[in-house]
A and B are shown apart, each in its own frame.
Chain A
Amino acid sequence: MMIHLAMATGFLLILIGFYGALSNRNLLRMIVAFTIADSGVNLVIVAIGYMPGRTAPILDATVKAGDAAARVIDPVPQALVLTAIVIGVGVTALMLAYAYKLYEKKRSLDIAKFTELRG
């Protein structure tokens, strides 16, 4: 049940992010929306790695090396999300920098004002 709740929350965050990116014209709001969708994706991946009745993938006094395969949850999604979070920060920083440059050019953050590529 918990796992479905976490997964549903993640999907909901993705939907909120998509809605924000589609319905806002302000570049900064779109960046925030993308970050929210990003968090949602990470939450879903971590939720997929969870298995009921098991513990964190760290060996210690209670989780011996011998029976680790029967006691721990899947560590691979966590490693993936660790990577995804870091790359997400880089992407967000780049988006902010480009938003700054666009504002410098047009003195506006409204996406509808940028018509150079409109066919």
Chain B
Amino acid sequence: MVKRLLALLLLAAIGGIFTTLVLGYMPDAELNNTARYYADHTAADIGSANLVTAIVITYRGLDTLGEVTVLFLAAAILGLVLARGRRQVQARRELTPVGELLTTGSRVLVPLIMLLGVYVFVNGHLTPGGGFQGGAVIASGVLLLLLTDPLRQFAHTLIAAVESLAGVFYVAIGLMGLFLAGGFLDNRFLPIGTLGALFSAGAIPIIYTLIGLKVGAEFSVMLSDLSDTEAL
């Protein structure tokens, strides 16, 4: 009881801080210097219509490489932690059938979901999409497949190959930027093209496609690892 009271007191204090923050907040009328630089220079320097993509892939590209690495580490640790559970799963467990609606529905929807995922990451430099979003959409298709058949085994070697190759090519493109253009992950060793065209913004569509494949593969591995765990 005392514990709950303490928790409520703590929450009230934090809530008080939040209230003053909200009440005292005035939105800026002008962009700050960093954002102004990005808004002014993206079109000429990067050629990407989506400013967020330009920041994520080029201006702060190194951070995104780190982010992809963190995601890879999370997937790897997940596989490591759950590895023992997976070996025991060989003794197949009995499952209730999932029903006609889900089976047929997933057959119709999964190809469309995959297509949407590819569309989202290929158009990452033009629309509010990108590799991470597209990869998550692809993984949601994998989740639908797992829902229809929780015991489904995916081609682990294929997924691992896609993931590693995407990572290797990502770093290779970063190095090409270092040697052929201005710096690591510089997208301008390919022609920038016209703003708003599909083949524009230099290497950004390629990088985002690689990220999309990598993130999709990593999320799929995570989902299938979690799904492979034994019912306790």
Contact = CB atoms under 8 A, between A and B. Distances in A.
A and B physically associate: yes
Contacts of A23: 4, 7
A87 interface: yes
Given A82-B130, A89-B219, A75 B51 contact: yes
Contact of B81 (A72, A74, A101): A101
Interface residues of B, number: 60
Interface string A1-37: 0011001100100110011001100000000000000
A57 B50 contact: yes
Contacts, number: 144
Contact of A22 (B10, B27, B67, B132): B10
A18 B64 contact: no
B11 A3 contact: no
Given A15-B15, A58-B51, A86-B67, A100 B27 contact: no
A103 B232 contact: yes
B67 A97 contact: no
A36 to B, nearest CB: 14
Given A79-B52, A97-B82, A69 B232 contact: no
A75 B128 CA distance: 12
Contacts of A79: 52, 55-56, 60
Contact of B67 (A14, A58, A65, A83): A83
A27 to B, nearest CB: 13
A14 B18 contact: yes
B170 to A, nearest CB: 15
A75 B77 contact: no
Interface residues of A, number: 47
A109 to B, nearest CB: 10
Contacts of A58: 49-51, 126-128
Given A11-B22, A15-B14, A68-B43, A90 B71 contact: yes
B70 A90 contact: yes
Contacts of B126: 58
Closest 3 CB pairs of A and B: A90-B74, A65-B43, A57-B51
Interface of B: 4, 7, 10-11, 14-15, 18-19, 21-22, 25, 27-29, 31-32, 34-36, 38-40, 42-44, 49-52, 55-56, 60, 63-64, 67, 70-71, 73-75, 77-78, 81-82, 85, 126-128, 130, 132, 136, 195-196, 215, 219, 222, 225-226, 229, 232
Given A22-B10, A59-B50, A68-B39, 17 more contacts: A11-B21, A14-B14, A15-B18, A51-B31, A58-B126, A68-B40, A69-B40, A72-B39, A78-B52, A79-B52, A82-B132, A83-B64, A86-B71, A93-B74, A94-B74, A100-B85, A100-B229
9 contacts: A19-B11, A51-B27, A58-B51, A58-B127, A68-B40, A74-B28, A75-B52, A86-B67, A86-B215
